[in-house]
Structure 1
């Protein structure tokens, strides 16, 4: 009886062991902890790359989106602690760093840093890239329709005030960008906090109001593609989609300068799967993947080898990369503090009310 009981116990033990093994084999990546919680802008990645990353690495990507730097910041500030990787813009990296919301980057875990464009690295918001790694960059510029506009006469922000452009242009709905273009047109920094200069910039915008048909967001792409306006002030990636769908549209980086924006990978302080974050960054910055992502979105990749991949095929997205000379006249947004940002927002709201 003892032998029978012992044999039964051994059989039961192995059955349990096999059951546990079978359960482990059937675990999903999420159950096993192989998860990347990615918090990104909407439609800001080629979805096929997420599938390829999951297939190659075994990680499961939980993808959530935000519609502004400020909404992303607020969510992290209020204690949302499950994100492993997010992609804020330049000035927001600075703010998050100062507020202790991001952790230092372990550069030894990144295998692409020597492939990065030095002109996009080490910028003022994170001078040593200790907390952020560029993901995409671009410019604020002017789109014009050659059916209605002579491109030779529209090469700077100053040209927007021409009287023959009455009721013909659209502006992107962004306080820093629109106040900024007015500041730049008078030779001032788009990061100024001088209230007198900001007031002058707003007053100059009031003189632009007769030329402004609408102040819009994403819908500008549709309007410009459908020839609803002759001119649009918008970001390079948005412009890329417009130009792809209307042969009469062209993009200009204003000659007096403009905003250079950079969106960056950062790892939140409370990230629980940092290994997944590093794996994802390495995957996305692999030259062929970075190039594919750039073609999909129309924005500029900071990976030099990826750009070389695009040059081999002469992809139209190359037209949106600023030249070395243009880079000298571009300026990155800085974190101006809550009071100054509120001033920009108030002045922009006044301008929008004035034109109505």
Structure 2
């Protein structure tokens, strides 16, 4: 660069020095636009939004979306806690939102900037993960149940017990997830899926170890495709994945076991110190509009926390008992809570199961 300007004499050198002096000011202006201008940095689950809606938001608002994804709640927590990336909007699950709130990692939301909050049903507000309703806006919810192949399973499926039947040895898919797998072991015995009782956890662990030889694989994302391809008889699956699986394979069915299950919630939240907080709130408001919620839900397959959004869906989706089950028929529905330091106990017990 110096040689380039030497060929143009003193005047060019003066101009170069002037540019060097101005560079910090120009960079500062650019940084200012990134922080308070037309940008929103979003960190969400993979395949958890209709891409066309991102484009529509940008066209309607002029705000550019920088979109990144994570695979687990724990990955999200580590990223935000470490401060290694500057995100304006995130989408944690219930227990993780609670954990992040306790750790001081979230901003309070200005609901005056989110008038479409009126379309969120009251029953989904003031949940245990955000009892004061200051830090979140519900996005999707769902259940965990059993998807089974009717050509391979010829008995009534209504209990978690079927996942322990020798008849289905190496034909069962379980989730490679500490909390989800232990939830099944605990609920099956009538215990809370947030149990901290040593004897209850020991029973659940013993059952999971007993089940281990019957399990074909412990997976998460791959479960759906395996079931769609008629490769296993039984699988533990999230309701939203089940909706898609049943649409693509008429041999499949979904049931919430009679002992009860986990009901989960995912919600929008804003990390502490977000540079573009108002843009994040604008995005939340956009995604909470009934017509937008319906487009997104039809694409994703999960359940909306909004009657207005649900009414904008096609009838076959509105009346789908997998996506919108009659929860009054389920004896026990329980959401995960942040277990704090006790999470280490769960992780150690689960590792023992996997090592068998």
- State the TM-score, normalized to the length of structure 1: 0.86
- 1:248-304: CA deviations, max 9, x gaps? 111111221111111110011111111111111111111111111111111111121
> Who is 2:221 aligned against?
218
For the residue of structure 1 that corresponds to 2:348, the secondary structure is helix
**Which ranges in structure 1 are unaligned for 5 or more consecutive residues?**
1-26
Match of 1:131 among 107, 116, 135: 135
> Who is 1:320 aligned against?
323
> Who is 1:76 aligned against?
80
Deviation of 1:326 after TM superposition, in Å, equals 4.4
Cα distance in 2 between the residues matched to 1:269 and 1:327? 37
Cα distance in 2 between the residues matched to 1:106 and 1:41? 24
**Equivalent pair of 1:299/1:317 in contact (CA under 8 Å):** no
> Who is 1:3 aligned against?
none
Deviation of 1:318 after TM superposition, in Å, equals 5.5
For the residue of structure 1 that corresponds to 2:107, the secondary structure is coil
> Who is 1:284 aligned against?
287
Q: Which runs of 4+ in 1 moved over 6 A?
A: none
Q: 1:106 to 1:326 in 2, by over 3 A?
A: farther
For the residue of structure 2 that corresponds to 1:210, the secondary structure is helix
> Who is 2:207 aligned against?
204
Cα distance in 2 between the residues matched to 1:59 and 1:327? 43
In the alignment, structure 1 residue 146 sits paired with structure 2 residue 156: no
Cα distance in 1 between the residues matched to 2:111 and 2:310? 22
> Who is 1:353 aligned against?
355
**Equivalent pair of 1:143/1:249 in contact (CA under 8 Å):** yes
> Who is 1:341 aligned against?
343
**Equivalent pair of 2:258/2:330 in contact (CA under 8 Å):** no
Deviation of 1:217 after TM superposition, in Å, equals 2.0
Match of 1:194 among 187, 192, 197: 197
In the alignment, structure 1 residue 53 sits paired with structure 2 residue 49: no
For the residue of structure 2 that corresponds to 1:310, the secondary structure is coil
Aligned runs of 1:14-93 on 2, under 5 Å? Answer: 33-80=37-84, 82-93=86-97
For the residue of structure 2 that corresponds to 1:126, the secondary structure is coil
For the residue of structure 2 that corresponds to 1:124, the secondary structure is coil
Deviation of 1:337 after TM superposition, in Å, equals 0.9
> Who is 1:255 aligned against?
258
For the residue of structure 1 that corresponds to 2:237, the secondary structure is strand
**Equivalent pair of 2:120/2:288 in contact (CA under 8 Å):** no
Deviation of 1:350 after TM superposition, in Å, equals 1.5
Aligned length: 325
- State the TM-score, normalized to the length of structure 2: 0.86
Cα distance in 1 between the residues matched to 2:134 and 2:34? 29
**Which ranges in structure 2 are unaligned for 5 or more consecutive residues?**
1-29
RMSD: 1.9
- 1:295-341: CA deviations, max 9, x gaps? 11111111211111225454575632232314662111000012x21
